[in-house]
Structure 1
Amino acid sequence: MKNFFLITFFIFLVSCGDSSSNSNNPANSNPNNFTSYIIPLYFYPVGQYQSEWDKLYNLSTSKIVYVIINPNNGPGNSVDANYVDAINKLKAKGFYVIRYVYTSYGKRSLSSVTNDINKWLSLYGANKIDGFFIDEVSNNIKKYSYYNSIYTYVNSKGKLVILNPGTNVDLKFFNISDKIVVFECNETDFEAF
């Protein structure tokens, strides 16, 4: 999802594995609450699209909400005060702030992926990051060890991993993620799916 515009779509999000393995997993606070929302808000938080962020700041829900932040196909090169303010507002609402990292379907080097993860943590602070949205995930089982390495690395930082193949994956992938997005589109298309 390298585009920088808000996509209004329905995401079928699947909880994975034993949620007790990650103490940061919000599902642990309410194991009966399997419904959650993922909101990819790739707009800049002030200016032309500020109203989209305001909608999120005013959202009232009892469901778990994950908000994906993506300033520049990843963390960018410096801290942006407008994103810091937006993140603080999201955290104050009790939403989980998830950071965007792409993998080019397993073609991007692991060092580039871990560099993005480290940059997110150093620029915006580990306490402001609940997890990572790993995008452009290959559903090829031959890439399993690649994604296992990413999961192990992120998990060692105490953060959640949300994989986004946007399609069906081998069941083995459910061992290396906290959530998997297996469908991206509108609700009508999901009903037909």
Structure 2
Amino acid sequence: MTTRGPGERCLLVPLYVHPGADPAAWEATAANGATVAWVVFNPASGPGGAPQSEFVEAAAVLRAAGVPLLGYVDTDYGRRGHHEVVADIERYQEWYRVEGVFLDQAATAPDLLAHYRRLAVAARSLEARQVVLNPGTHPDPGYAELADVVVTFEGGADSHRSLLVPGWTSDFPQQRFAHLVHGASLEDCAGIRETARRHRAGYCYATPGSGDNPWSVVMPELLLTGVRGTP
């Protein structure tokens, strides 16, 4: 399990934009290797049917900058079968040499814990050093026990400010939780680390983006830092 302090690499970046369409977003993320804990790597809402050369090159650039990659895999709230999910993880390792997995649309109920525990075991057997679950809300506490990091919030900035955090989260270090915030003002983006820490999350990310893919808009801090060329 990899553990980083929130004052070091605290950004979990869902970089859901094609490197050919917005190379500046990828360059800025690479330039911020000192603050980016992981990039969620998502060529085609998953690995796709074949490796894409532009993503292979982009992955190499991020890796050279010391930024670990998490392969995006949709679990469809537990409806996708074990073998189908594991096949996606295998493709990521073969094509892009990712360091971990980001299991999106994760379930929250205790009756699916066994399914996700098997997925976590399979991912680690395939040399995924980090298993991140994204239910987007606080799940049953058992999910925090089987994953390295759980995304306990994904949503708008207004909802994030008023988030109610269940007491069981205090049984775990803050670095076991992450928050992803969209529709954020510049002030929200600038203060996301402190807000996330108040809500017991050691990792975070905020973007002013909205709509179907808010994560196509890069966090302003990354772009400004990238322009200056300093981490």
Query: The TM-score by the shorter chain falls in which range?
Result: 0.7 to 0.9
Percent identical: 26
Where structure 1 has 5 or more consecutive residues not aligned to the other structure, the ranges are: 1-21
Instruction: Give yes or no for the alignment of 1:41 onto 2:15.
Output: yes
- Describe the SS at the equivalent of 1:133: strand
Greater relative contact order (CA < 8 Å, ≥ 6 in sequence)? 1
Pick aligned residue for 2:111 from 111, 126, 142: 142
Deviation, structure 1 residue 180: 0.4
State the match for 1:167 in structure 2: 137
User: AA paired with 2:18?
Assistant: Y
**Structure 1 residues 32, 178: closer, same or farther in 2, change over 3 A?**
same
Deviation, structure 1 residue 58: 2.4
How far apart in 2 are the matches of 1:115 and 1:89? 25
State the match for 2:54 in structure 1: 82
State the match for 2:151 in structure 1: 181
- Describe the SS at the equivalent of 2:22: helix
User: AA paired with 2:118?
Assistant: S
TM-align CA RMSD: 1.9
Deviation, structure 1 residue 32: 7.7
Instruction: Give yes or no for the alignment of 1:108 onto 2:80.
Output: yes
Where structure 2 has 5 or more consecutive residues not aligned to the other structure, the ranges are: 164-231
Pick aligned residue for 1:117 from 86, 89, 93: 89
Pick aligned residue for 2:30 from 57, 78, 82: 57
- Alignment TM-score, normalising by the size of structure 1: 0.77
**Structure 1 residues 89, 105: closer, same or farther in 2, change over 3 A?**
same
- Alignment TM-score, normalising by the size of structure 2: 0.65
Pick aligned residue for 1:71 from 19, 31, 43: 43
How far apart in 1 are the matches of 2:47 and 2:72? 8
How far apart in 2 are the matches of 1:44 and 1:178? 27
**Structure 1 residues 34, 143: closer, same or farther in 2, change over 3 A?**
farther
User: AA paired with 2:138?
Assistant: N
How far apart in 1 are the matches of 2:25 and 2:14? 11
Q: How many residues of Structure 1 are paired with residues of Structure 2 in the alignment?
A: 162
**What do the CA deviations read for 1:60-93 (whole angstroms, capped 9, x no partner)?**
53x3521011111111122211111111111111
**Structure 1 residues 141, 68: closer, same or farther in 2, change over 3 A?**
same
**What do the CA deviations read for 1:77-111 (whole angstroms, capped 9, x no partner)?**
22211111111111111111110001110011111
How far apart in 2 are the matches of 1:64 and 1:187? 21
How far apart in 1 are the matches of 2:40 and 2:6? 24
How far apart in 2 are the matches of 1:66 and 1:123? 18
State the match for 1:18 in structure 2: none
Kindly report structure 1 stretches of 4+ aligned residues shifted beyond 6 Å: none
- Describe the SS at the equivalent of 2:12: strand
How far apart in 1 are the matches of 2:28 and 2:82? 36
